[in-house]
Chain A
Amino acid sequence: MINENLIPKIGVVTDIRKDTPDVKTFRVVGTDGKKLFEHLPGQCAMVSIPGEGECMFSITSSPTNKEYMEFSIKKCGCVTEVIHSIEVGQMITVRGPYGRNFPVEGDFRGKDLLFIAGGIGLAPLRSVINYVRDNRSNYGKVVVVYGARSMDDLVDIEEIKTQWVKEPNFEVYLTIDRPQEGWDGHVGFVPAYVKELGLDPNMTAVLCGPPIMIKFTLAGLLELGFSKERVYTTLELRMKCGIGKCGRCNVGNKFVCKDGPVFRMDELDELPDEY
């Protein structure tokens, strides 16, 4: 009578990569060396070091990675502070996958895709972007607009610079908030950059980042002629159970853990503005 939904699995951290001053990416496998469970892009998992708390994180790696899972985690609270202090070989607990994924096999198929991310907001989108890269023929053109406070805050810039930019029919636009020595790319906030780029409003857009970025970027996209039915985002609220029972991650009559975290903008319009 194991309750697989609330009793976690044991994972082992096999690699830790420091992406930015406050973001680390943790590679996790089961105690048997295999991937803990399958997931779909945009889904989340509850990660814990027992005794230190349990938190919901988006699964950063793509489902097409059959060997391990990765979580990109920003140090910003009690639990993430402890997670940042662990070393390779540390066991953690993981349960999931939870929530509704991006419709990579539904609405996204055959479409031109626009990904817009700010800061750590790239973590949940990386799963989708790499899924699309690994199933390239199923999708049209891909455009990624990614911004961060500084060039040091761009998460996993290596993969972007060495792999993404080389993909055919795949454009990457990077920006940082303020000018910085050693940076010859674009400078400015994401919402303004998106408007400047004059993007094709027939693309399906996916947004993830701080709420203020989402708000202004969405307004910019609508000005460019994008429709809310073709713009997706992923939400984050405090969670405890992950299965729609503990009652705290609701926005109106939807639970972010179960009905989300992925929502279309027209769906969010139906809900109270409380997230």
Chain B
Amino acid sequence: MIKINKNDINAFFAAVAEKMPLYLPVKKAGETNYGMYAEGAEVDLTTLKTVKSAKDFFFPQSETMMKFRKEGKNIDIIDVREDKEPFVIFGVRACDYKAFSVLDNVFLQEPVDTFYKARRDAAIICTLACGRPEESCFCKVFGIDAADPQGDVTCFLTENGLMLRANTEKGEALLSLYNNSEKADEKEVKAAQDKTREIIKKLPFSNLDLSRFTEENLKELFAAEEWKELSEACLGCGTCTFVCPTCQCFDIREFKTRQGVIRYRCWDSCMYSDFTQMAAANPRTTQLQRFRQRFMHKLIYYPSQYGGTYSCVGCGRCVNKCPQHLNIVKVIKKLGGKND
């Protein structure tokens, strides 16, 4: 493990950014989100959660899939994809990192989504251990250790500087780009981790019980009376799905230009009324049905499809962002098992 002194952190970023694009949490207009490193950028490593998750890197909010040229009755397909050059994402928290594997299950399962895979393969991921988890955090419920995230490089921010541990060859190569580092004091890292874990133990949502969310209970939970009360205030705005690092539903749409047709995909939300609308029918006509779909998917359908992994990582963004104060924690408390 190496250490970069507090005053040299920017020099490290500059050294990396010279070789390849570097994305990291940047504060802009009062909000912290991932942005490209540039001189003078207000890099923000202390804000715990970026407003939007890191899923955009692999599953962008909108992307062109292909173009078509039409002439009379003829159609030409234009493949617009290019080879993806390596890039670095720095500062990914343990929850968002785990979310990548949740997305991987969907997009990398046969038949592989090559749009997603190209970006995934090109990325070098540097995670950042959490120093001060917040009240809305509940990653521990999903077996995530916020004090020791993985990735190509794991970073720890302490009072004295940035400690970096390479976990993969890609990570080692990245750290070798900077040669003004010293050896890290492992004890200091350990102390920081202990502190983080102590905080997590005391968080209000750290011990939610998920034991009732099993495939055997699928039909019983689907029919649960509680959905009515839980979903009553839902506006169907879709904010929860947009800030969620694991929500992966998408739409494929087209628009016509003078040069031809562009087919693109973009995030969609199961909370929207037209999500399942067909010409003749719609299997989910009420907000209750749509609300239930979202949580049944995260807590029962997805785990039953992918070996028990939940499609929630406890980042708590939905807890913070829902305008009606609805969230997955309330669903888990009501239906998950023994939750007081």
Contacts and interface: CB of A to CB of B under 8 A. Distances in A.
Contacts of B113: 3, 5-6, 243, 245
A248 B111 CA distance: 17
Contacts of A90: 73
B57 interface: no
Nearest to A211: B281
Contacts of B76: 10
Given A51-B70, A240-B250, A10 B77 contact: yes
Interface stretch (B6-14, B130-138, B215-223): B215-223
B248 interface: yes
A87 interface: yes
A8 B77 contact: yes
Given A238-B278, A253-B300, A3 B75 contact: no
Given A274-B283, A275-B283, A93 B77 contact: yes
Contacts of B219: 270, 272
Contact of B249 (A1, A76, A247, A253): A247
Interface residues of A, number: 45
Contact of A245 (B66, B73, B106, B293): B106
Given A89-B73, A245-B106, A253 B301 contact: yes
Contacts of A174: none
A199 interface: no
A6 B65 contact: yes
Interface stretch (B29-37, B167-175, B188-196, B251-259): B251-259
A4 B81 CA distance: 13
Contact of A50 (B107, B109, B263, B296): B263
B250 A246 contact: yes
B297 A250 contact: yes
B304 to A, nearest CB: 4
A225 interface: no
Contacts of A274: 222, 283-284, 289, 293
A253 B65 CA distance: 27
A253 B305 contact: yes
Nearest to A75: B279
B328 interface: no
A252 B278 contact: no
Contacts of A77: 278-280
* A10, A51, A211 interface centre (most CB from chain B within 10 Å): A51
B275 interface: yes
Contact of B107 (A78, A80, A245): A245
Q: Which 6 pairs between the two chains have the least Cβ-Cβ distance?
A: A77-B279, A247-B249, A50-B68, A3-B114, A253-B301, A51-B261
Interface of A: 1-8, 10, 50-54, 76-78, 80, 87, 89-93, 211, 236-238, 240-241, 243-253, 270, 272, 274-275
Interface of B: 65-66, 68, 70, 73-77, 79, 81, 83, 106-107, 109, 111-115, 118, 215, 218-219, 222-223, 248-252, 254, 256, 260-261, 263, 265, 268, 270, 275-281, 283-284, 289, 293, 296-297, 300-302, 304-305
